[in-house]
Amino acid sequence: MLRIRFIGIDGETAEVDAAEGASVMMAARDAGIRGIEAECGGALSCGTCHVYVAQAYQAMLPQASVEEQDMLELVAAEREAGSRLSCQISMTADLDGLTVRIPDSQT
Protein backbone atom coordinates (compact mmCIF):
# COMPACT_ATOMS: atom_id res chain seq x y z
CA MET A 1 0.00 0.00 0.00
CA LEU A 2 1.10 3.54 -0.78
CA ARG A 3 0.46 6.53 1.44
CA ILE A 4 -1.11 9.85 0.57
CA ARG A 5 -1.13 12.77 2.97
CA PHE A 6 -4.08 15.14 2.74
CA ILE A 7 -3.88 18.54 4.39
CA GLY A 8 -7.46 19.53 5.10
CA ILE A 9 -9.19 22.90 5.04
CA ASP A 10 -8.73 23.16 8.80
CA GLY A 11 -5.00 22.43 8.45
CA GLU A 12 -5.27 18.94 9.88
CA THR A 13 -3.39 16.18 8.14
CA ALA A 14 -4.87 12.80 7.30
CA GLU A 15 -2.81 9.92 5.97
CA VAL A 16 -4.61 7.36 3.84
CA ASP A 17 -3.66 4.17 2.06
CA ALA A 18 -3.91 3.89 -1.69
CA ALA A 19 -3.40 0.95 -3.99
CA GLU A 20 -0.96 1.32 -6.86
CA GLY A 21 -2.88 2.57 -9.88
CA ALA A 22 -5.68 4.09 -7.81
CA SER A 23 -6.32 7.78 -8.30
CA VAL A 24 -5.81 10.26 -5.50
CA MET A 25 -9.51 11.10 -5.82
CA MET A 26 -10.50 7.47 -5.26
CA ALA A 27 -8.27 7.19 -2.23
CA ALA A 28 -9.79 10.36 -0.78
CA ARG A 29 -13.32 9.20 -1.45
CA ASP A 30 -12.70 5.79 0.10
CA ALA A 31 -11.23 7.37 3.18
CA GLY A 32 -14.04 9.90 3.44
CA ILE A 33 -11.71 12.88 3.14
CA ARG A 34 -13.73 16.09 3.32
CA GLY A 35 -13.54 18.66 0.58
CA ILE A 36 -13.05 16.40 -2.44
CA GLU A 37 -16.42 16.17 -4.09
CA ALA A 38 -15.64 14.38 -7.36
CA GLU A 39 -19.18 14.83 -8.63
CA CYS A 40 -18.51 13.17 -11.97
CA GLY A 41 -16.69 10.18 -10.48
CA GLY A 42 -13.46 10.79 -12.34
CA ALA A 43 -14.74 11.48 -15.85
CA LEU A 44 -12.81 14.75 -16.08
CA SER A 45 -16.07 16.62 -16.39
CA CYS A 46 -16.81 18.55 -13.22
CA GLY A 47 -13.63 20.05 -11.74
CA THR A 48 -14.67 19.29 -8.14
CA CYS A 49 -11.71 17.15 -7.03
CA HIS A 50 -9.19 19.98 -7.17
CA VAL A 51 -6.09 19.67 -4.96
CA TYR A 52 -2.83 21.55 -4.50
CA VAL A 53 0.11 19.20 -4.89
CA ALA A 54 2.97 19.98 -2.52
CA GLN A 55 5.93 21.51 -4.32
CA ALA A 56 8.25 18.56 -3.74
CA TYR A 57 5.94 16.31 -5.73
CA GLN A 58 4.88 18.67 -8.51
CA ALA A 59 7.65 17.76 -10.90
CA MET A 60 7.20 14.04 -10.27
CA LEU A 61 3.71 14.01 -11.73
CA PRO A 62 3.08 13.58 -15.43
CA GLN A 63 1.99 16.88 -16.95
CA ALA A 64 -1.70 17.69 -16.89
CA SER A 65 -3.45 16.90 -20.18
CA VAL A 66 -4.95 19.73 -22.20
CA GLU A 67 -8.38 18.61 -21.01
CA GLU A 68 -7.32 18.70 -17.39
CA GLN A 69 -5.76 22.14 -17.83
CA ASP A 70 -8.97 23.37 -19.40
CA MET A 71 -11.03 21.96 -16.53
CA LEU A 72 -8.69 23.58 -14.01
CA GLU A 73 -9.97 26.89 -15.35
CA LEU A 74 -13.33 26.02 -13.79
CA VAL A 75 -12.18 25.30 -10.26
CA ALA A 76 -13.82 27.36 -7.58
CA ALA A 77 -10.75 28.03 -5.46
CA GLU A 78 -7.64 29.94 -6.51
CA ARG A 79 -5.59 28.12 -9.14
CA GLU A 80 -1.96 27.73 -8.09
CA ALA A 81 1.17 26.16 -9.53
CA GLY A 82 0.36 22.86 -7.80
CA SER A 83 -3.28 22.80 -8.86
CA ARG A 84 -4.36 19.44 -10.23
CA LEU A 85 -7.51 17.38 -10.48
CA SER A 86 -7.00 14.49 -8.10
CA CYS A 87 -8.92 12.06 -10.35
CA GLN A 88 -6.11 12.46 -12.88
CA ILE A 89 -3.28 11.58 -10.50
CA SER A 90 -2.62 7.87 -10.57
CA MET A 91 -0.61 6.48 -7.67
CA THR A 92 2.74 4.88 -8.44
CA ALA A 93 5.46 3.59 -6.13
CA ASP A 94 7.59 6.72 -6.53
CA LEU A 95 4.66 8.88 -5.44
CA ASP A 96 4.50 7.14 -2.06
CA GLY A 97 4.02 9.82 0.56
CA LEU A 98 2.43 12.27 -1.89
CA THR A 99 1.18 15.33 -0.06
CA VAL A 100 -1.74 17.39 -1.31
CA ARG A 101 -3.67 20.27 0.19
CA ILE A 102 -7.43 20.55 -0.16
CA PRO A 103 -8.81 23.89 -1.36
CA ASP A 104 -11.40 25.88 0.59
CA SER A 105 -14.11 25.21 -1.93
CA GLN A 106 -14.87 22.95 -4.87
CA THR A 107 -17.98 24.65 -6.19
| Residues binding other proteins (CB under 8 A) | 29-32, 34, 37, 39-47, 67, 70-71, 73-74, 107
Q: Which is nearer to other proteins, 70 or 94 (CB)?
A: 70
Q: Which is nearer to other proteins, 7 or 74 (CB)?
A: 74
Residue 13: strand pairing partners: 7
Q: Which is nearer to other proteins, 16 or 54 (CB)?
A: 16
Spell out the residues 6+ positions from residue 8 whose beta carbon is closer than 8 angstroms to its own.
14, 33, 34, 35, 102
Q: What minimum distance in Å lies between the beta carbon of 74 and other proteins?
A: 4
| Max CA pair span of the chain | 33
